[in-house]
Structure 1
Amino acid sequence: MSVERLLLYLKEMDVAATRIADFIRGMDEATFATDIRTQMAVMMGLALIGEAVAKLDKHDPAFSQQHPEIPWLKMKGMRNLIVHDYFRAELSVVWKTITESIPDLQMRLALLRNRHAQGE
Protein backbone atom coordinates (compact mmCIF):
# COMPACT_ATOMS: atom_id res chain seq x y z
CA MET A 1 0.00 0.00 0.00
CA SER A 2 1.25 3.47 -0.76
CA VAL A 3 2.31 5.73 2.07
CA GLU A 4 -0.28 8.27 0.90
CA ARG A 5 -3.13 5.76 1.22
CA LEU A 6 -1.87 4.58 4.62
CA LEU A 7 -1.67 8.16 5.87
CA LEU A 8 -5.17 8.83 4.52
CA TYR A 9 -6.68 5.94 6.51
CA LEU A 10 -4.83 6.96 9.66
CA LYS A 11 -6.01 10.54 9.14
CA GLU A 12 -9.63 9.39 8.67
CA MET A 13 -9.43 7.58 12.02
CA ASP A 14 -7.98 10.66 13.70
CA VAL A 15 -10.60 13.01 12.24
CA ALA A 16 -13.41 10.75 13.46
CA ALA A 17 -11.77 10.48 16.90
CA THR A 18 -11.43 14.28 17.11
CA ARG A 19 -15.09 14.72 16.23
CA ILE A 20 -16.08 12.21 18.91
CA ALA A 21 -14.07 14.17 21.47
CA ASP A 22 -15.74 17.37 20.31
CA PHE A 23 -19.21 15.82 20.59
CA ILE A 24 -18.72 14.88 24.25
CA ARG A 25 -16.68 17.89 25.39
CA GLY A 26 -18.00 19.04 28.78
CA MET A 27 -20.34 16.06 29.05
CA ASP A 28 -20.45 13.46 31.78
CA GLU A 29 -21.65 9.88 31.43
CA ALA A 30 -25.11 10.60 32.85
CA THR A 31 -25.68 13.38 30.33
CA PHE A 32 -24.39 11.19 27.51
CA ALA A 33 -26.81 8.44 28.57
CA THR A 34 -29.77 10.76 28.00
CA ASP A 35 -28.54 12.57 24.88
CA ILE A 36 -29.61 10.41 21.96
CA ARG A 37 -28.32 12.85 19.36
CA THR A 38 -24.80 12.74 20.82
CA GLN A 39 -24.99 8.96 21.18
CA MET A 40 -25.79 8.57 17.51
CA ALA A 41 -23.09 11.05 16.46
CA VAL A 42 -20.52 9.21 18.57
CA MET A 43 -21.63 5.84 17.21
CA MET A 44 -21.20 7.13 13.67
CA GLY A 45 -17.69 8.31 14.55
CA LEU A 46 -16.83 4.88 15.98
CA ALA A 47 -18.24 3.21 12.87
CA LEU A 48 -16.09 5.46 10.66
CA ILE A 49 -12.99 4.53 12.65
CA GLY A 50 -13.79 0.84 12.25
CA GLU A 51 -14.44 1.28 8.55
CA ALA A 52 -11.05 2.95 8.06
CA VAL A 53 -9.45 0.02 9.91
CA ALA A 54 -11.24 -2.42 7.60
CA LYS A 55 -9.97 -0.55 4.52
CA LEU A 56 -6.46 -0.51 5.93
CA ASP A 57 -6.64 -4.27 6.56
CA LYS A 58 -7.94 -4.88 3.06
CA HIS A 59 -5.08 -3.01 1.42
CA ASP A 60 -2.30 -4.01 3.83
CA PRO A 61 -3.21 -6.90 6.14
CA ALA A 62 0.31 -7.06 7.56
CA PHE A 63 0.16 -3.47 8.85
CA SER A 64 -2.02 -4.26 11.84
CA GLN A 65 0.23 -7.19 12.76
CA GLN A 66 3.21 -4.84 12.67
CA HIS A 67 1.46 -2.53 15.15
CA PRO A 68 -0.15 -4.69 17.84
CA GLU A 69 -0.19 -1.74 20.26
CA ILE A 70 -3.37 -0.55 18.55
CA PRO A 71 -6.53 -2.63 19.14
CA TRP A 72 -7.44 -3.04 15.45
CA LEU A 73 -9.76 -6.01 15.99
CA LYS A 74 -11.66 -4.26 18.77
CA MET A 75 -12.09 -1.20 16.58
CA LYS A 76 -13.51 -3.30 13.74
CA GLY A 77 -15.64 -5.22 16.24
CA MET A 78 -17.13 -1.99 17.59
CA ARG A 79 -17.93 -0.90 14.05
CA ASN A 80 -19.64 -4.21 13.33
CA LEU A 81 -21.69 -4.02 16.52
CA ILE A 82 -22.82 -0.48 15.77
CA VAL A 83 -23.63 -1.09 12.13
CA HIS A 84 -25.24 -4.50 12.46
CA ASP A 85 -26.70 -4.46 15.97
CA TYR A 86 -26.87 -0.83 17.11
CA PHE A 87 -29.46 -1.47 19.80
CA ARG A 88 -27.21 -4.01 21.55
CA ALA A 89 -24.42 -1.49 22.08
CA GLU A 90 -24.06 -0.84 25.79
CA LEU A 91 -23.76 2.87 26.50
CA SER A 92 -21.42 2.30 29.45
CA VAL A 93 -19.00 0.45 27.15
CA VAL A 94 -19.31 3.15 24.50
CA TRP A 95 -18.65 5.83 27.14
CA LYS A 96 -15.57 4.02 28.42
CA THR A 97 -14.33 3.60 24.86
CA ILE A 98 -14.74 7.25 23.93
CA THR A 99 -13.34 8.66 27.16
CA GLU A 100 -10.45 6.25 27.70
CA SER A 101 -9.57 4.54 24.43
CA ILE A 102 -10.10 7.39 21.96
CA PRO A 103 -7.48 9.74 23.52
CA ASP A 104 -4.98 6.86 23.62
CA LEU A 105 -5.81 5.97 20.02
CA GLN A 106 -5.20 9.53 18.86
CA MET A 107 -1.79 9.58 20.51
CA ARG A 108 -0.83 6.27 18.89
CA LEU A 109 -2.16 7.34 15.48
CA ALA A 110 -0.09 10.53 15.64
CA LEU A 111 3.04 8.48 16.31
CA LEU A 112 2.25 6.13 13.43
CA ARG A 113 1.51 8.96 11.01
CA ASN A 114 4.72 10.75 11.93
CA ARG A 115 6.83 7.63 11.54
CA HIS A 116 5.32 6.69 8.20
CA ALA A 117 5.34 10.25 6.87
CA GLN A 118 9.09 10.29 7.54
CA GLY A 119 9.51 7.02 5.68
CA GLU A 120 10.17 4.68 8.57
Structure 2
Amino acid sequence: MSSEGLQGYLDRMHEAASDVSKFIEGMEKDAFLKDVIMQRAIGMSLLMVGEVATRIIEVYPEFVEEHSELQWRQIRGMRNRIAHGYFDIDLGLVWDTAKKAIPDLLDKLYLIRHWQAEGE
Protein backbone atom coordinates (compact mmCIF):
# COMPACT_ATOMS: atom_id res chain seq x y z
CA MET A 1 0.00 0.00 0.00
CA SER A 2 1.47 3.30 -0.98
CA SER A 3 1.89 6.16 1.42
CA GLU A 4 -1.27 8.23 1.43
CA GLY A 5 -3.20 10.53 3.66
CA LEU A 6 -5.82 9.57 6.18
CA GLN A 7 -8.67 10.29 3.77
CA GLY A 8 -7.13 7.88 1.26
CA TYR A 9 -6.92 5.16 3.88
CA LEU A 10 -10.54 5.73 4.88
CA ASP A 11 -11.58 5.57 1.23
CA ARG A 12 -9.76 2.26 0.76
CA MET A 13 -11.31 0.83 3.90
CA HIS A 14 -14.75 1.88 2.71
CA GLU A 15 -14.17 0.38 -0.73
CA ALA A 16 -13.11 -3.01 0.64
CA ALA A 17 -16.02 -3.07 3.13
CA SER A 18 -18.43 -2.12 0.34
CA ASP A 19 -17.13 -5.02 -1.71
CA VAL A 20 -17.99 -7.39 1.13
CA SER A 21 -21.54 -6.06 1.21
CA LYS A 22 -21.91 -6.39 -2.55
CA PHE A 23 -20.54 -9.94 -2.55
CA ILE A 24 -22.99 -11.25 0.05
CA GLU A 25 -26.04 -9.34 -1.15
CA GLY A 26 -28.87 -11.84 -1.46
CA MET A 27 -26.68 -14.73 -0.35
CA GLU A 28 -27.63 -17.16 2.40
CA LYS A 29 -25.13 -18.60 4.85
CA ASP A 30 -25.48 -22.15 3.50
CA ALA A 31 -24.60 -20.96 -0.01
CA PHE A 32 -21.60 -19.06 1.37
CA LEU A 33 -20.34 -22.14 3.21
CA LYS A 34 -20.41 -24.12 -0.05
CA ASP A 35 -18.83 -21.45 -2.26
CA VAL A 36 -15.04 -21.40 -1.88
CA ILE A 37 -14.68 -18.56 -4.40
CA MET A 38 -17.04 -16.37 -2.39
CA GLN A 39 -15.30 -17.35 0.85
CA ARG A 40 -11.98 -16.23 -0.55
CA ALA A 41 -13.37 -13.04 -2.07
CA ILE A 42 -14.96 -12.02 1.21
CA GLY A 43 -11.95 -13.15 3.21
CA MET A 44 -9.59 -11.12 1.06
CA SER A 45 -11.81 -8.05 1.32
CA LEU A 46 -11.95 -8.40 5.11
CA LEU A 47 -8.19 -8.79 5.15
CA MET A 48 -7.91 -5.55 3.16
CA VAL A 49 -10.19 -3.74 5.63
CA GLY A 50 -7.98 -4.98 8.46
CA GLU A 51 -4.77 -4.03 6.72
CA VAL A 52 -5.96 -0.46 6.26
CA ALA A 53 -7.10 -0.35 9.89
CA THR A 54 -3.65 -1.54 10.94
CA ARG A 55 -2.03 1.26 8.93
CA ILE A 56 -4.34 3.86 10.46
CA ILE A 57 -3.60 2.52 13.97
CA GLU A 58 0.15 2.83 13.30
CA VAL A 59 0.21 6.16 11.46
CA TYR A 60 -2.74 8.03 12.99
CA PRO A 61 -3.08 6.87 16.63
CA GLU A 62 -4.73 10.15 17.62
CA PHE A 63 -7.43 9.57 14.99
CA VAL A 64 -8.01 6.05 16.32
CA GLU A 65 -8.40 7.45 19.82
CA GLU A 66 -10.81 10.15 18.60
CA HIS A 67 -12.89 7.53 16.75
CA SER A 68 -13.16 4.75 19.26
CA GLU A 69 -16.64 3.99 17.91
CA LEU A 70 -14.80 1.85 15.37
CA GLN A 71 -13.48 -1.35 16.86
CA TRP A 72 -9.95 -0.91 15.53
CA ARG A 73 -8.34 -3.75 17.46
CA GLN A 74 -11.06 -6.23 16.52
CA ILE A 75 -10.77 -5.24 12.86
CA ARG A 76 -7.01 -5.78 13.02
CA GLY A 77 -7.59 -9.06 14.86
CA MET A 78 -9.84 -10.34 12.08
CA ARG A 79 -7.16 -9.42 9.56
CA ASN A 80 -4.60 -11.41 11.53
CA ARG A 81 -6.87 -14.45 11.83
CA ILE A 82 -7.46 -14.45 8.08
CA ALA A 83 -3.85 -13.72 7.15
CA HIS A 84 -2.37 -16.35 9.43
CA GLY A 85 -5.22 -18.84 9.77
CA TYR A 86 -4.96 -20.22 6.25
CA PHE A 87 -7.08 -23.38 6.28
CA ASP A 88 -8.30 -22.94 9.86
CA ILE A 89 -10.43 -19.86 9.25
CA ASP A 90 -13.77 -19.94 11.04
CA LEU A 91 -16.17 -19.41 8.13
CA GLY A 92 -19.06 -18.85 10.50
CA LEU A 93 -17.17 -15.92 12.01
CA VAL A 94 -16.34 -14.59 8.54
CA TRP A 95 -20.04 -14.79 7.62
CA ASP A 96 -21.15 -13.09 10.84
CA THR A 97 -18.59 -10.35 10.33
CA ALA A 98 -19.72 -9.78 6.75
CA LYS A 99 -23.43 -9.74 7.66
CA LYS A 100 -23.34 -7.85 10.95
CA ALA A 101 -20.10 -5.94 11.49
CA ILE A 102 -19.53 -4.69 7.94
CA PRO A 103 -22.86 -2.81 7.60
CA ASP A 104 -22.16 -1.12 10.94
CA LEU A 105 -18.61 -0.30 9.84
CA LEU A 106 -19.88 1.20 6.59
CA ASP A 107 -22.33 3.43 8.44
CA LYS A 108 -19.62 4.68 10.78
CA LEU A 109 -17.10 5.16 7.96
CA TYR A 110 -19.63 7.18 6.02
CA LEU A 111 -19.97 9.62 8.89
CA ILE A 112 -16.22 9.76 9.60
CA ARG A 113 -15.19 10.16 5.96
CA HIS A 114 -17.59 13.03 5.46
CA TRP A 115 -16.48 14.66 8.69
CA GLN A 116 -12.86 14.33 7.54
CA ALA A 117 -13.62 15.73 4.07
CA GLU A 118 -15.31 18.78 5.58
CA GLY A 119 -12.31 19.44 7.80
CA GLU A 120 -9.83 19.60 4.90
TM-score tier by shorter-chain length is over 0.9
Cα deviation code 1:13-34 (max 9, x no counterpart): 1100111111112110000000
Name the stretch that deviates more: 89-98 or 33-42.
Answer: 89-98
The equivalent residue for 1:12 is 12
For residues 77 and 55 of structure 2, the distance between their equivalents in structure 1, rounded to whole angstroms, comes to 14
Separation in 1, partners of 2:28, 2:51: 27
Q: TM-score, normalised by structure 2?
A: 0.92
Where does residue 27 of structure 1 map in the other structure?
A: 27
| 1:60 Cα deviation from its structure 2 partner | 1.0
Partners of 1:94 and 1:13 lie apart in 2 by: 17
The runs of at least 4 consecutive aligned structure 1 residues that moved more than 3 Å come to none
Determine what percentage of the aligned residue pairs are the same residue: 39
> C-alpha displacement at 1:88, in angstroms?
2.4
1:63 corresponds in structure 2 to 63
Q: Gaps (5+ residues) in structure 2?
A: none
Structure 1, unpaired ranges of 5+: none
Residue 119 of structure 1, CA deviation: 0.8
User: Normalising by structure 1, what TM-score?
Assistant: 0.92
Corresponding letter in the other structure for 1:50: G
